[in-house]
Amino acid sequence: MRQAHTVEQVRAAEAALMARLPEGALMQRAAHGLAHAVLDLLAPGTYGRRVLLLVGSGDNGGDALYAGAVLARRGLAVTAWLLSDRAHEGGVAALRAAGGTTTTTGPTTGPGASRPDVVVDGIVGIGGQPGLRPAAAAALAGLAGVPLVAVDTPSGVGVDTGELPADGDHARADVTITFGTHKLAHLVDPAAAASGVVHLVDIGLDPYLPAPAAEALQTADVAALLPRPSADAQKYSRGVVGVRAGSAAYPGAGLLSVAGASCGLAGMVRYVGDAVVHDLVREQHPEVVGQGRVQAWVVGSGSGDGAAGTLAEALADGVPTVVDADALAHVTRGGRSDLVLTPHAGELARMLDVDREVVEARPLAHARAAADAYGTVVLLKGPHTLVVHPDGRVRVTTTGLPWLATAGAGDVLGGLVGALAAAGLEPYDAASVGSWLHGAAATQASRGGPITAGDVARALPRVARDVLRQSHP
């Protein structure tokens, strides 16, 4: 499980660990991890390469300076641009002793000036406020195009919120080296997009960290949660998922919802809906049957004007229900706790009566607000999909790729989550496991190129099989 903690949680864990270590030992652990990450980025042939440290007044600046000293001893040309008059004294001394240099005015510029091979962002630590001072923003702007390695988090982002400052001044890293645990900004968009590739350096915090503020499932976690048939299983005991989706106007939405549900993780799929869609389902999914008892429903994709009626019919059965698309407009606040609501940013904006841009700027805050208002699990679709439980738990999906932003992909996801709920997973687990599998299937189907929603649905059984094989080879 990849875990993310708040600044307060990290600070408390660091204090507990430092009480058991010699003074400065924790910063040295972080600095050495940072230095080796820079060496890996520049390899092969690191000798003589130019590294510029952007150094602020906090501990991140100290980490950067001590890392610079390690790099200077390895033969790299290291310069620290001190952006504050309160730079870490021990770090400055260590860098100079190792042969590095410092400047308060920035590197030499002009036609003959050499640009650094890499910039290390040690401007603002995790305790800083979002945004940058003008001098720091100008320094970053002048170095645009040079690979940037952020210390802990990109300077200027909202560490505990995953948000970006309103004025837009923040670092955008190619690589972020973080220490002890991930922070929310590494997982939650839009700050996650500014973090680049995140590498975690173990500095010994694990025994002192509390329950995380958010987590991201990994392959082993998904394997542990995936439902498996018992030795005496039959199709009914494995779970029956019902799909009420699609219409004469939008038959594809119903067909793709059925395709997601027909991934093999539930024992049976039932389709109830428009005759046009029913004929398409019968033709392409002959294993799907009609009306009858189910353990979970999937409702809303492509339902159009019939969404209110199909939602009411599904809810009348009293089983977990995945509510998507058109049906989201008819969900009652503070109603059923066994629902999974699956909006994208625009749909969530309508549910909360705010502008879409506001949701996109603060997705975690608004997903939490919706989970609290509606009293049920909310799956907010996006580059890093969020699954939020009304009790405060958060999971972030880190599988997937930009090609997954394609018409009908959300219909497939709804069907998949419904199948997992019918197979016995609690709504929170069904949503987060379904989102993980959906992203992994897209990656496998894509192979670096474009995909359709149908490609994702067809890849789901293979991905589930691969996950199960990794856990029980």
Q: What was the pLDDT predicted at 106?
A: 85
Q: Judge whether residue 110 has pLDDT over 60.
A: no
- Two structure tokens written together for 377: 């699990």
**CB-based contacts of 3: which residues, under 8 Å, 6+ apart?**
181, 182, 209, 212, 214, 215, 216
- Looking at the chain, the whole-number percentage of residues with pLDDT higher than 90 is 94
Q: How far is it, in rounded angstroms, from Cα 307 to Cα 244?
A: 9
What pLDDT score was predicted for residue 104? 93
- Per-residue pLDDT band for 63 (boundaries 50, 70, 90) equals very high
The residues spanned by each domain of the chain are 2-212, 219-471
Each residue's pLDDT tens digit, 301-342: 999 999 999 999 999 999 999 999 999 999 999 879 999 999
The backbone region for 292, taken as left when phi is positive above 0, alpha when psi lies in -120 to 50, beta otherwise, is left
Q: Rounded to an integer, what is the distance from CA 236 to the centroid of its chain? A: 35
| 444 vs 410: CA distance, rounded Å | 17
Any residues with CB less than 8 A from the CB of 56 and at least 6 apart, and which? 83, 84, 87, 122, 123, 124, 125, 128, 136, 155
DSSP bridge partners of 119:
52, 148
pLDDT for the residue numbered 445: 98
Q: What is the pLDDT of residue 366?
A: 98
- Answer for the pair 345, 360: CB distance below 8 angstroms, yes or no: yes
Q: What is the pLDDT of residue 420?
A: 98
Query: How far is residue 154's CA from residue 183's CA, in Å, rounded to a whole number?
Result: 11
The torsion angles phi and psi of 407, rounded to 5 degrees, stand at -60, 135
Q: Which residue has the tokens 């940037």?
A: 148
Superfamily in which the 2-212 domain is placed by CATH? YjeF N-terminal domain (3.40.50.10260)
Residue 219 and residue 468 in contact, taking contact as beta carbons nearer than 8 Å: no
- The CA distance from 64 to 36, in Å, is 12
Average pLDDT for 398-409: 96
The amino acid present at 301, given as its one-letter code, is S
Non-local (6+) Cβ contacts of 173 within 8 A are 121, 148, 149, 150, 154, 194, 195, 196
Enumerate long-range contacts of 305-312, CB under 8 Å, 24 or more apart: 306/247, 310/244, 310/245, 310/273, 311/244
* Superfamily of chain region 219-471: Ribokinase (3.40.1190.20)
Phi-psi region of 181 (alpha: psi -120 to 50; beta: other; left: phi over 0): beta
pLDDT tens, residue by residue, 16-46: 999 999 999 999 999 999 999 999 999 999 9
The pLDDT, as a whole number, for residue 367 is 98
Q: CA–CA separation, 107 vs 53, rounded Å? A: 10
Query: Which residue matches tokens 């042939």?
Result: 45
Question: What are the backbone angles phi and psi of residue 329, rounded to the nearest 5°?
Answer: -70, -10
pTM listed for this prediction: 0.95
For residue 472, what pLDDT is reported?
A: 64
pLDDT the model gives residue 177 = 97
pLDDT band with cut points at 50, 70 and 90 for residue 228: very high
Whether 167 has a pLDDT exceeding 90, the answer reads no
